[in-house]
Amino acid sequence: MTVITEPEARAYEPVVGVEIHVQLKTRTKMFCGCALSFGDEPNTHTCPVCLGHPGTLPVTNAEAVHFALMIAMAFDCEIAPRSIFHRKNYFYPDLPKGYQISQYDIPLARNGRLGDVRIHRVHMEEDAAKLIHTGSSGRIHGAETSVVDFNRGGTPLVEIVTEPDLRSPHEAAEFGRLLQATLRRMGVSDVNMEEGSLRVDANVSIRPAGTATLGTKAELKNMNSFRFLERGIAAEIARQERIVHEGGEVEQETLHYDPQSGSLTSLRSKEEAHDYRYFPEPDLVPVAPTEEMLKRARDALPELPAARAERLERDLELPAETARVLAFRSELGDFFESAVAASGNGEVRTLANWTMNELAARIGDSDPAGTALEPAALAELVAMVESKQVSASAAKEVLDVLVAEGGDPAAVVEAKGLGRAESGELEEVVDRAIADNPDAVEKIRAGKAQAIGAIVGAVMRETKGRADGGEVQRMISERLGV
């Protein structure tokens, strides 16, 4: 048996494509009038249509088509003049009709791009219901009983399939984040991975580096965070490298990645793959977008995160990473841009940093527009810091108040007595601090410059943070003649 050495094994490159299911945030389901819901009492948002009662017929939700068209346009896809629905047939208790209505050989849109990744297709379909299994396994086999909640059944989904353009687990996760930010910005989905409104599958294969062939792929199902997506793909690449390394061949199969154990388990092999017996859905007419529908979708498209990041970087001269964070968290970006507009000619970089760091730290993932803080107040506060009317640490205290209660920064500074210490007052405090810290003074004179921190600290304590650290340091050095 030949032993293949490490360097040779490393000469493989991963090839990854993703399939993303997005639950659309329409008011009603894909093919009936039931309201969408999450976490409601089971089976309270159902009707004869979404329960698959005999004789019922689906009717396509026009708003779902509108959202799907927006998505297709956001990716610059070619939109099919007439796309059709198919029936995808298989038996499962979460599929009340015994088939899923989906698009097959003529999807809504094809050949688009998001960032550096080509989009293969965008199509519409309906979500399955939710199965809940009791017993230890948590899966249908071996469960004591299984119950079905049909609330989710029939939720509109858009499936987005990329070309295999991703070359690393990190790239896949980054693409996922861009996609998530883009869809969120468009307002077409909650894109919440934990709640399942954004679900990512990855097709993973490896090939000798530098070749253009595609290896046999394995499909990783349903990873519910980008971190797990990244880890899952990494684990699968490692598994495939190991197989090839040992002289074996990768088999086509569908795998489940368990983020807890880091293990991959096979759900089904190629032989067990379903024959879905697709055929055109005779109950529905083709989706043929009219000029009005296309215009409405086009007009509804906001500036998307990638374009916004580029603009913030170019026009406001923000560092790339700052621009990206503000563009990807669009509510933060909106707040920032409102603050910029209110600030006149303020220092936008500082404002960006305050938005991205201080404000974000105080509000978590929520929308800053939902707090008491006004964009103009943030701009004013940052301007006060810039002009040294207030120290950075005092300003943080002011921000706490503004986020919780709102109001005018100057008034808060005034009320809390956080205004910058006057230089006469500060001189006294500095002198006292030098007198109180003879050890530190001695060390500084002996050349240990960092000992100055103790004296600065004492001054800051005394002034309750109202003094500017740099100014204090300068005054101490001057007095000690170092």
- Chain residues binding another protein by CB under 8 A are 48, 51-60, 87, 89, 91, 93, 96-99, 140-141, 148, 275, 277-279, 282-285
| Dihedral angle computed from the Cα positions of residues 85, 86, 88 and 89, in that order, rounded to the nearest 10 degrees | 130
Q: At 473, which amino acid appears?
A: Q
CB nearer to another protein: pick between 54 and 481: 54
The least CB distance from residue 277 to another protein, in Å, is 4
A 10 A CB-CB count for 37 gives 13
CB nearer to another protein: pick between 269 and 366: 269
d(CA 122, CA 270): 25
The least CB distance from residue 160 to another protein, in Å, is 25
The least CB distance from residue 17 to another protein, in Å, is 23
A 10 A CB-CB count for 263 gives 12
The least CB distance from residue 271 to another protein, in Å, is 13
User: To which H or E segment does residue 16 belong?
Assistant: strand 12-23
CB nearer to another protein: pick between 10 and 53: 53
DSSP-assigned beta bridge partners for residue 100 = 88
d(CA 443, CA 233): 55
From the list 152, 134, 193, the residue with the least C-alpha distance to 43 is 152
Which of the 8 DSSP states describes residue 367? -
The least CB distance from residue 28 to another protein, in Å, is 13
A 10 A CB-CB count for 10 gives 11
User: Contact at 8 Å (CB) between 404 and 359?
Assistant: no
CB nearer to another protein: pick between 65 and 191: 65
CB nearer to another protein: pick between 282 and 417: 282
CB nearer to another protein: pick between 274 and 432: 274
Outline where 55-108 has alpha helix (H): 62-74
The least CB distance from residue 92 to another protein, in Å, is 8
What's the CA angle centered on 348, arms 344 and 352, to 5 degrees?
A: 130
CB nearer to another protein: pick between 29 and 87: 87
CB nearer to another protein: pick between 88 and 121: 88
The least CB distance from residue 57 to another protein, in Å, is 5
The least CB distance from residue 293 to another protein, in Å, is 16
d(CA 243, CA 473): 62
Structure tokens of 246?
């040992």
